[in-house]
């Protein structure tokens, strides 16, 4: 066994008197040349375990039980002198972190950052390190490595940044590679490329891989063994085929049940507690929801030839046009959902932001109740701001950290004079918090006191204060655990059923889009390449790009 973790207990100091136990005596192993997946929701302790292996737990707050043991190649890591631990972690044990933009230094080129690793751990001079860096960039599939080696992280796409992180991790030919959610925020095609790259490197270099994720579809395609964690404990462990095909623990079955399937669309997605309390055993056995547009559907939004260009300065006086959205046309029916899919840079988010006039359109029209949203002046548009709202991708950035949840919900009602007085507005805000599944105490609390899923519910509640007719959901569930994702999708569906709201649902997660959408619009390079009712598009895609997207969906745990 290359890595052996035995009885690992880790607690964190929350204040001078209290601690929180994040790991409660977990044990697992990673064999040589094998891929082991560590699976669980946020807060399960899986990332804490990996940081303990790397020696990256914050010493001022983390408390590791002295009876715990972490052995690598027969060598005990806990208690190892810092200089020896630092020499080991980075060379023989390497890690790919979840968010490359937070892990790469924005003021240094990628070539310098990879070369720094080679100089520190391999003793290479600058010339040899640069030659080795070029070879690594080529190995991980970076286009034009001779050019990209001198690029800064901000000049690369998200997929390229993650490839740079992988190149940095494998630079010293480690025996163990830890990958912590390396594909969470990536498009489905880029995700597939990264997964194939890691699998190829693992076989070529005969590395062991500890892969941390909450996506069981990915696990089924890459892992030899699976370890399922919850609340700091290991709930189930075994060969991937057995754990995913015949799970013994109720929590494992719950994780599998929460994920939207391509072959079924239940009225409601099961959540963790549904399965744990035996209220639902199999979502596929539930009544199914029928999706699609019908000839008599009322059109609430008609978009024709929408265009948006950005301009980049060239030289002293010149500028270059970048056409982000090119002649996009679609209709949105009342009480229906239009899914918008495509890779990063396809223009799908720009469409949503342009409809809300957060970007100024350079062409086209968007008729809402017969009025063109894009052509009216700002004063006339103010009346429509209430009727079309957006839920942004990142609830951490879209909620004011200095406002309580109550202030966040009351502000738009006061601005748009919704309600007769503050007493009525407060009552409505509390009702909406209950509607999105948050306790009454949330009204007085601040955003940082909530999880990501709860913050997204607050963002949805804020939109509901305006009583909108159209809601643009921009990657609003992409970074959530499958269980929280199921709760938010159920909430959106309940609201649509109750209020006949129409959604423009922007996402790169094609399984989620299939579940929530009546019609799907596929975008590539700013243009619409295909549009059809959801079931028809997934069953019989016509455009090669659509076929490529659908082929990249992880299907390991699909029926």
Q: Where are the domains of the chain?
A: 1-81+88-92+173-248, 102-171, 299-552
Locate tokens 């494992």: which residue?
252
**The predicted structure's pLDDT at residue 479:** 67
Residue 130 clears pLDDT 90, i.e. is over it: yes
Topology match between the domains 1-81+88-92+173-248 and 299-552: yes
Of 400, 418, 498, nearest to 465 by C-alpha is 418
Of 13-17, 106-110, 403-407, 444-448, minimum mean pLDDT range: 13-17
Specify burial of residue 358 (Cβ count, 10 A radius: 0-12, 13-18, 19+).
exposed
The answer to whether 450 and 442 are in contact (CB under 8 A) is yes
Residue 559 clears pLDDT 50, i.e. is over it: no
Residue 556 clears pLDDT 60, i.e. is over it: no
Tell me the two tokens of residue 394.
């990142």
The domain 1-81+88-92+173-248 is classified under which CATH number: 3.20.80.10, 3.40.50.300, 3.20.20.100, 2.160.10.10? 3.40.50.300
The CATH code for residues 299-552 is 3.40.50.300
Residue 125 clears pLDDT 50, i.e. is over it: yes
Q: Find the helix packing angle between 482-499 and 452-464, rounded to 10°.
A: 10
* Secondary structure class of 304 (helix, strand, coil): strand
**The predicted structure's pLDDT at residue 280:** 66
Tell me the two tokens of residue 416.
């748009």
**The predicted structure's pLDDT at residue 475:** 84
**Each residue's pLDDT tens digit, 199-254:** 888 888 889 999 998 777 788 888 999 999 999 999 999 999 999 889 999 999 88
Q: What angle do CA 251, 233, 80 make, to 5 degrees?
A: 150
The answer to whether 531 and 281 are in contact (CB under 8 A) is no
Residue 442 clears pLDDT 50, i.e. is over it: yes
Tell me how far apart the alpha carbons of residues 336 and 214 are, in angstroms, rounded to a whole number. 29
* Terminal-to-terminal C-alpha distance of the chain: 34
**Residues ≥6 apart with Cβ < 8 Å to 161:** 100, 101, 104, 153
The answer to whether 264 and 288 are in contact (CB under 8 A) is yes
**The predicted structure's pLDDT at residue 555:** 65
Of 232, 204, 198, nearest to 218 by C-alpha is 198
Of 357, 19, 248, nearest to 10 by C-alpha is 19
**The predicted structure's pLDDT at residue 192:** 83
Q: CA–CA distance from 284 to each of 109, 260, 269, 273, 491 (Å)?
A: 49, 10, 9, 17, 19
Tell me how far apart the alpha carbons of residues 439 and 449 are, in angstroms, rounded to a whole number. 13
**The predicted structure's pLDDT at residue 281:** 58
Supply the DSSP symbol for 182: T
Residue 282 clears pLDDT 70, i.e. is over it: no
Q: What is the mean pLDDT of the chain?
A: 88
The length of the chain, given as a count of residues? 559
Tell me the two tokens of residue 130.
């640069």
**The predicted structure's pLDDT at residue 553:** 81
Tell me the two tokens of residue 522.
């596929």
The alpha carbon of residue 217 and the mean position of all alpha carbons in its chain are separated, in whole angstroms, by 14
Helix (H) or strand (E) holding 527: strand 527-533
Of 18-32, 190-204, 342-356, minimum mean pLDDT range: 190-204
Tell me how far apart the alpha carbons of residues 358 and 72 are, in angstroms, rounded to a whole number. 52
Of 186-190, 303-307, 472-476, minimum mean pLDDT range: 186-190
Number of other CB atoms surrounding residue 18 within 10 Å: 9
Tell me the two tokens of residue 293.
């547009």
**The predicted structure's pLDDT at residue 283:** 54
Residue 345 clears pLDDT 90, i.e. is over it: no
Question: pLDDT tier at 382 (50, 70, 90 boundaries)?
Answer: confident
Q: CA–CA distance from 444 to each of 328, 402, 488 (Å)?
A: 43, 12, 22
**The predicted structure's pLDDT at residue 215:** 77
Q: Find the helix packing angle between 126-139 and 110-122, rounded to 10°.
A: 120
Residue 170 clears pLDDT 50, i.e. is over it: yes
**What value does the mean pLDDT take over residues 101-106?**
83
137 vs 478, higher pLDDT: 137
126 vs 16, higher pLDDT: 126
**What value does the mean pLDDT take over residues 352-377?**
93
Tell me how far apart the alpha carbons of residues 421 and 375 are, in angstroms, rounded to a whole number. 33
The alpha carbon of residue 418 and the mean position of all alpha carbons in its chain are separated, in whole angstroms, by 34
Tell me how far apart the alpha carbons of residues 233 and 330 are, in angstroms, rounded to a whole number. 49
**Each residue's pLDDT tens digit, 18-71:** 899 999 999 999 999 999 999 988 778 888 999 999 998 988 899 999 999 999
**Each residue's pLDDT tens digit, 56-97:** 898 889 999 999 999 999 999 998 888 888 888 878 999 988
Tell me how far apart the alpha carbons of residues 340 and 336 are, in angstroms, rounded to a whole number. 13
**The predicted structure's pLDDT at residue 185:** 64
Of 550, 473, 540, nearest to 511 by C-alpha is 550
């Amino acid at each position: 066994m290359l890595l052996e973790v035995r009885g690992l207990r880790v607690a964190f100091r929350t204040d001078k008197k209290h601690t929180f136990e994040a790991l409660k005596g977990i044990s697992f192993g990673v064999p040589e040349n094998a891929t082991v997946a560590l699976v669980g929701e946020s807060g399960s302790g899986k990332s804490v375990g990996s940081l303990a292996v790397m020696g990256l737990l914050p010493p001022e707050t983390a408390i590791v039980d002295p009876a715990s043991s972490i052995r690598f190649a027969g060598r005990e890591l806990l208690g190892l002198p810092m200089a020896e631990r630092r020499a080991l972690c980075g060379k023989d044990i390497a890690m790919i972190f979840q968010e490359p933009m937070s892990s790469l230094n924005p003021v240094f080129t990628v070539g310098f950052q990879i070369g720094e690793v080679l100089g520190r751990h391999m003793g290479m001079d600058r010339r040899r390190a640069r030659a080795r860096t070029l070879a690594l960039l080529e190995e991980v599939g970076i286009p034009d490595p001779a050019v990209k080696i001198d690029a800064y992280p901000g000049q690369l796409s998200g997929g390229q940044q993650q490839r740079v992180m992988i190149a940095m991790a494998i630079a010293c030919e480690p025996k163990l590679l830890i990958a912590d959610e390396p594909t969470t925020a990536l498009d489905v095609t880029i995700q597939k490329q990264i997964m194939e790259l890691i699998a190829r490197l693992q076989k070529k270099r005969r590395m062991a891989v500890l892969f941390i994720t909450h996506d069981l579809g990915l696990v089924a395609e890459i892992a030899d063994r699976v370890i399922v964690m919850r609340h700091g404990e290991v709930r189930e462990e075994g060969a991937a085929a057995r754990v995913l095909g015949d799970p013994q623990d109720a929590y494992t079955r719950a994780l599998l049940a929460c994920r939207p399937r391509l072959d079924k669309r239940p009225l409601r997605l099961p959540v963790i507690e549904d399965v744990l309390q035996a209220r639902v055993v199999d979502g596929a056995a539930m009544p199914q929801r029928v999706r699609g547009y019908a000839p008599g559907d009322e059109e609430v939004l008609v978009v024709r030839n929408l265009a948006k260009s950005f301009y980049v300065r060239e030289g002293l006086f010149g500028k270059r046009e970048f056409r982000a959205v090119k002649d996009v046309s679609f209709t949105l029916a009342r009480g229906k959902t239009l899914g918008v899919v495509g890779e990063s840079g396809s223009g799908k988010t720009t469409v949503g932001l342009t409809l809300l006039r957060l970007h100024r359109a350079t062409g086209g029209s968007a008729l809402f109740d017969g009025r063109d949203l894009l052509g009216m002046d700002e004063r006339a548009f103010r009346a429509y701001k209430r009727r079309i709202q957006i839920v942004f991708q990142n609830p951490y950035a879209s909620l004011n950290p200095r406002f309580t949840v109550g202030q966040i919900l009351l502000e738009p009602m006061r601005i748009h004079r919704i309600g007769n007085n503050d007493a009525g507005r407060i009552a409505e805000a509390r009702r909406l918090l209950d509607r999105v599944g948050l306790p009454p105490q949330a009204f007085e609390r601040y955003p940082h006191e909530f999880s990501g899923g709860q913050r997204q519910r607050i963002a949805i509640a804020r939109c509901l204060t305006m009583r909108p007719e159209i809601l643009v959901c921009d990657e609003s569930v992409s970074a959530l655990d499958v269980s929280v994702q199921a709760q938010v999708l159920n909430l959106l569906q309940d609201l649509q059923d109750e209020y006949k709201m129409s959604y423009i649902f922007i996402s790169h997660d094609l399984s989620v889009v299939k579940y929530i959408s009546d019609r799907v619009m596929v975008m590539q390079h700013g243009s619409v390449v295909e549009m059809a009712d959801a079931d028809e598009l997934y069953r019989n895609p016509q455009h090669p790009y659509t076929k490529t997207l659908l082929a990249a969906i992880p299907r390991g745990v699909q029926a």
